[in-house]
Amino acid sequence: MTVYPDYFYAEKDFDKSHMGYKPLTIPEGVEAQPLAVPPLLAPDKVDGNDIYYTIEAQEGESQILPGKKTKTWGYNAPLLGQTLVVKTGQRVHVRLKNSLPVLTSFHWHGMEVPGPITDGGCHAPVYPGEEKDIEFTVKQPAALTWLHAHPCPSTAMQVWMGLAMGVVVTDDNEARLPIPKNYGVDEFPVVLQDRTFHDNQLDYRADYDPMGVFGEVPLINGVVRPYIDVTTQKVRLLFLGGSDRREWRLHFENDLTMTQIGGDDSFLRHPIDVKKLLIGPGERQQVIVDFAGYKEGDVVSLYTDDFKLLEFRIHAFEKDDRELPFNIFTPDDPAVNSEAPVRHVTMDDHDKINGLRFSMERIDMKQTLNSVEYWDVTNTNNSASGMLHPFHIHGAHFLVVSRDGKKPNPNEINVYKDTVEVGPGETVRLKVYFQNAGVFMYHCHIIEHEDAGMMAQIQIVDPKEPDKTYKLMDMETITNAFAEEMGVEPGEVFMPGMDVEDMDMGACFHAAEASTSRRLVEAVTAASRAGHAGHDASSGASHHDATSGASHH
């Protein structure tokens, strides 16, 4: 089998080649500890093919560094979340509960569910103290997808606080494959993130950079210096690029080969052997590592660039020489609608799509349900000095057809994806397929870019209901809601880059600052109320009418 020795992207385009890049460090005194494996989320109820869950966004505290605990957010956990496992064909009912002091949303990144409410972008806020019920049928093959907060333009800050969790789809094909699938024993989700700490606390405002925020400390499943105890010959790793800005350039010590078996939304048609793996924000890559050449007591490490990220401590294991079949997945590859023109999407500067910043009430494109179309996605950054922008589409999967008319990377052929890195000056052709109607966002997944407006939306039209319209969120409503929660005037809420006039950049980040704890919110509220004696607290009172589907007080 061919072994691919490189990252498939030009070194000049790597994040480390750019201004503002921050290398990783391990703070003094941090001991190695086992990789945290998020527990599996237990269902509330199972009724035949219907399964019921509750997901609660909550505040908590986490022992990340020695000394003071860090105030963090998570789903049914103080930080990140529990892992939700669903099966293809299942009808999934989820009660979304917001116990945070601010509004949030629950976005199913990689799940092909209807938009815009179930999808959980900015049109589907769940207000503090509220619950909202959604349901969907799992219509896709086995893969690691994820749930994260997406209340634009506060997505980056909420993800920074910890709101991200794995959503694993399983199916019969996966069950048949001779691959490790004993969760937490030989199969591990690996959520790759980075954070900066200020006196052990997160402070998004202090670290903000509109070009994308780098954290200085690695956080792998919430652990700074993790190791895995290897008790089987083969280990399966489900990597998730969960950082706001940082790319992960993974490779093993001693050039140990990784067999890549999956991408964002499916297995690959054929496994491939790689020495190096670049994972951009939002992307997922799935590999099997074979430790046959190691013995009890050995330690072998996974690096990003020259930084040691994760240790594998080898224990005694039984031989496992099961071979993967040549074909591990058969992607559907339906014909492209020949009547549809090729769509052209440009990613411009660090804050625009097709020359425009995001507007919540503007539909930028329409596509017919179940129609497969070509999208040519161009990164218009200067090819000498621009950056990779990870392009993501909600509620869809795509096949990567070509890069500048040439063959795509070997690990993005014949695999379903929803996020793809596009190099400066490069055009990537995608075959895009939506199997649910609604309004869906597409955007750069450098989260600061998306919050700044590098985002647009498409309406997927069911020919059976050609005139259907959707109630969309608007800037005034969401601004008033944030302002009310923070106890500040609407004009003082920072909405980066969106279609809002007269916003004072200097007054930004009340959101980031105030949201770090309820106490702080209360303090800010009290201070603000004292400072604005005439403030009318009812100014945001109409926000609960903004979307259908929200439960009521």
Please report, as ranges, the residues that interact with Cu ion according to CB under 5 A.
389, 444, 446, 449
Least distance from C-beta 446 to Cu ion, angstroms? 4
Of 260 and 379, which CB lies nearer to Cu ion in the complex structure? 379
Residue 416 is encoded by which pair of tokens? 């379903």
| Minimum distance from residue 18 beta carbon to Cu ion (Å) | 12
336 neighbors 247 (Cβ within 8 angstroms): no
CB of 440 to Cu ion, least distance (A): 18
Query: In whole angstroms, how close is the CB of 455 to Cu ion at the nearest point?
Result: 10
Nearer to Cu ion among residue 177 and residue 353 (C-beta):
353
Which one, of 291, 201, 196, 288, lies nearest residue 245 by Cα? 196
Cα–Cα distance, 442 to 450 (Å, whole number): 9
Sequence letter at residue 285: Q
Q: Which is nearer to Cu ion, 177 or 345 (CB)?
A: 345
CB of 388 to Cu ion, least distance (A): 8
The whole-angstrom separation of Cα 361 and Cα 205 is 27
Give the torsion sign (CA, 64, 389, 190, 273). Answer: negative
Nearer to Cu ion, 228 or 446 (CB): 446
Least distance CB 398 / Cu ion (angstroms) = 18
The kind and range of the H/E element at 309 are strand 307-314
Closest alpha carbon to 13 in 262, 249, 264: 249
CB of 444 to Cu ion, least distance (A): 3
Distance CA 76, CA 372 (A): 37
> Which residue's CB is nearer to Cu ion, number 218 or number 424?
424
* Closest to 18 in 3D by CA, of 281, 386, 445, 446: 386
Strand partners, 373: 432
User: What residues does 46 pair with on adjacent strands?
Assistant: 51
Q: What are phi and psi of 155, to 5 degrees?
A: -60, -50
Least CB distance to Cu ion at residue 375 (A): 16
CA 81 to the chain's CA centroid: 13
Report, in Å, the least distance between residue 247 CB and Cu ion: 12
Amino acid at the residue 196: T
Can you give the length of the chain in residues?
A: 553
* Nearer to Cu ion (CB atom), residue 94 or residue 446: 446
Hey, what amino acid is at 376?
A: D
Distance CA(63)–CA(49), nearest Å, equals 39
Q: Of 439 and 447, which CB lies nearer to Cu ion in the complex structure?
A: 447
Nearer to Cu ion, 57 or 278 (CB): 278
Facing residues of 438 across strands?
Answer: 460
Separation in Å, CA 436 to CA 27, 30, 369, 371, 505: 46, 46, 7, 11, 38
Buried b or exposed e, range 392-431, using 16+ CB within 10 angstroms: bbbbbbbbbbebeeeebbbbbbbbbbbbbbbbbebbbbbb
Task: Return d(Cα 80, Cα 93) in angstroms, integer.
Answer: 21
Q: What is the dihedral of CA 73, 74, 77, 83, to 10 degrees?
A: -160
Name the residue whose CB lies closest to Cu ion. 444
- Closest contact distance (angstroms) between CB of 127 and Cu ion is 29
The CB-of-496 to Cu ion minimum distance in angstroms stands at 13
Peptide bond into 408 cis (omega under 30): no
Helix (H) or strand (E) holding 511: helix 510-514
Q: How far is the CB of 249 from Cu ion (least distance, A)?
A: 18
* Of 350 and 429, CB closest to Cu ion: 350
Nearer to Cu ion, 225 or 389 (CB): 389
- For Cu ion, give the closer residue by CB, 351 or 492: 351
CB-wise, 422 or 512, nearer to Cu ion? 422
